[in-house]
Structure formats: structure tokens, C-alpha cells
Amino acid sequence: MPVDKQTISEIGIFDSLATTQTPGTVVTLVSTNTIPTNIGMVRVTAGGAVTGIILTPGVRAGQFVEITHEGAAASTLTMAAAGTSNVAAGATCVLSGLANHLFKWNSVTALWYQTGPAAN
């Protein structure tokens, strides 16, 4: 039985927060920068490997954010510690370039969890 858009939007898959991208906007990151999570897809790049990256806290349980790292594969983004970055894996979370990285917000732990391996 097909699922209608209203049912899907109730669980946050197709609503505007989870599917909106700012066209043409690529955020160039340096160490300790913050990646906004108020849109569903964020385009980022970096001139080299950077550390101490932070994701802004989610606004509701189950929220998704997709980070598209358009920089070179070696230009990795390493998150800050969990208490600072809002990412469960903290500094062990390293995002490679030329890949998409999907995170889901857990409102109980107040942390983002990476939902699988990077996709490119």
C-alpha cells in the first residue's frame, strides 16, 4: 500500500526542513567552524584537513541533515568532542571529501548520529 506524502511528512522525511537546500551556496570551512543544520542539505568544502567542527543542535526528534563535502577526498573534516560538536562520535567522526554524510538528531541524548558510511 503506498504511503501518502502527509504520512511521510509527519515523520519528517519530505517536509521543507528535511529537503531544502540553498542553491549555489558552498560553505568553506576552517578549523572550529560550525555547520548549520537548519536546512536538510548543507554543501561544504575545505582547503585542507580541518578539526574541531561543530554541528548546530537539531530542532526536533528524528531530524536529518545531509552534509555534502565537495572538497578533495583528503580534505577531511574532524568533529570536535561530542559535548562541543553535538555529534555522538565526537572527534572520532571524520568526514571525507567528495562524499555525502547523513546524520540523524536524537532529542533524548541531544546528539547527532551518523546513519551510515559516506556515500559518493
Global pTM value? 0.80
pLDDT digits (tens, 9 = 90+) for 103-116: 999 999 999 999 98
Residue 24 is predicted with a pLDDT of 62
The residues, any chain, with a CB within 8 Å of residue 107's CB and separated by 6 or more, are 58, 60, 61, 62
For the chain, give the mean pLDDT.
85
Element (H, E) at 79: strand 77-79
Residue 92 is predicted with a pLDDT of 97
| Whether residue 1 has pLDDT greater than 60 | no
4-13, 16-25, 43-52, 86-95: range with lowest mean pLDDT: 4-13
Residue 76 is predicted with a pLDDT of 97
Residue 9 is predicted with a pLDDT of 43
- Is there a contact between 41 and 21 (Cβ–Cβ < 8 Å)? yes
**SS3 annotation, 3-56:** CCHHHHHHCCCCCHHHHCECCCCCEEECCCCEECCCCCEEEEEECCCEEEEEEC
- Is there a contact between 85 and 54 (Cβ–Cβ < 8 Å)? yes
pLDDT digits (tens, 9 = 90+) for 21-75: 556 689 999 999 999 998 889 999 999 999 999 999 999 999 999 999 999 999 9
